[in-house]
Amino acid sequence: METTPATYLIFWGPDWSSGFTTADVNGSTYTSQELQNYVTSFLTNLGGTSWAAIQNEYCNNVPAGTTSCAAVGGGNYVTNPRKQLKGVWTDPTPVPADIITLGLAENLADDPLAMEAIRASAHFNYDPQATYIILTPPTTIGTGQPVYCGYHTQTSSVDGLGNPYRLQYAFIPFLNATWPVLGQGGCGMNSVNVVSDSFGHGVFDGYSIVVGHEYAEAVTDPDNFATVQDGWNDVQGSENGDKCAWTHLGNVSMNNHTSFAVQPLWSNKAFDVTGEGCVRSAPTNPHAMPPVGVTPPTVDICMTLGVCPPGVAAGQPMPVNMAYFGGGVQVNPKIYMVFWGWGAGRGV
């Protein structure tokens, strides 16, 4: 878990300095500098927002199978500080023509992206609470694309072997390419803002959606050793971004009067209250009574399978039977009623 999230942004390749252009779905042309400004502004302004605060319900230092940090107690929660972007680097070193992204499947052997993440950490200084986000120009196609629009993983380091330390990184390939079958908008271009504006809302929608997706998952599920994820994920291995990917996309207000296209993130708290876990802002009243027609699911995965699988966490159905998770209860309950604003001396 990244309890104090931070990001470092790396624009890898000489094309970022020499410049290139990309067109939106309507044929309007934008520069690579405008793309860099858009992504930099997004990461600059997301810290402290209600969208990023969705992750504040998650923690570490709790038993596997926990679905509520508040119920168990003793967890170290994800925080949501402002100014999470700590540095931006345009690295002019050449990018391999065809990146073999071993990090997507396993990270016992380093691929060029992992090595670039290590170089970036040497450039910025190592931050174990950070995600190093690597963007490549349009000429680079990673193996497996267009199966994914981005991914996050972690470099390996076991007793110092493999790498000097473990760090989280994300790979964001050029998203506005024309992919077979998917077409030009397969990774989110103009998926929220149909008409692009001068800042890049529209043509760069996919960048804030995909970068936000990988950022959120790296915060809540950063560990990845031989593809085993041991942060917050559901029984199918889906993380807080996966569970809501490409659903209910929308513009979300962020700091400094900015807004960006994002996807919802999964919230156990919201799911418990409304039956809908994909939200674009943090739930503020987790103990509210659900509205009429919303009932909790009747399937309990732990009971269905006979055991609670390791890693069962985000988004699991509510148990049929409640269990005690520690903490105090009112053994001799009392209530006090307050009529606020009714006025003195009035009958009720």
The residue that leads in pLDDT, 231 or 324, is 231
Q: What is the pLDDT of residues 292-331, one digit of tens each?
A: 555 444 444 444 444 444 444 433 444 444 455 556 667 7
The DSSP 8-state label assigned to residue 312 in this structure reads B
Pairing of strands 6-12, 21-23: unpaired
**Least confident stretch, 43-47, 76-80, 95-99:** 95-99
**Please, what's the largest Cα pairwise distance for the chain?**
81
| Distance separating alpha carbons of residues 309 and 218, to the nearest angstrom | 22
Q: Which of 45, 82, 99 is nearest to 211 (CA)?
A: 45
Collect all residues with Cβ–Cβ distance below 8 Å to 166 and sequence separation of at least 6. Answer: 128, 154, 155, 156, 157
> What three-state secondary structure class fits 308?
coil
Per the confidence metrics, is the pTM higher than 0.85? no
For residue 136, the tally of other CB atoms under 10 A from its CB is: 24
Pairing of strands 168-172, 151-154: antiparallel
Average pLDDT over residues 161-186: 80
pLDDT band at 163 (very low <50, low <70, confident <90, very high): confident
Secondary structure (DSSP) of 202-261? TTTHHHHHHHHHHHHHHHHS---BTTB--SSB-TT---TTGGGTTSS-EEEEETTTEEEE
* Pair of tokens at residue 215: 């950022």
State the chain's mean pLDDT as an integer: 83
Degrees (nearest 5) of the Cα angle 155, 55, 284? Answer: 180
**Least confident stretch, 1-5, 8-12, 49-53, 233-237:** 233-237
Instruction: Indicate if the pLDDT at residue 348 is higher than 90.
Output: no
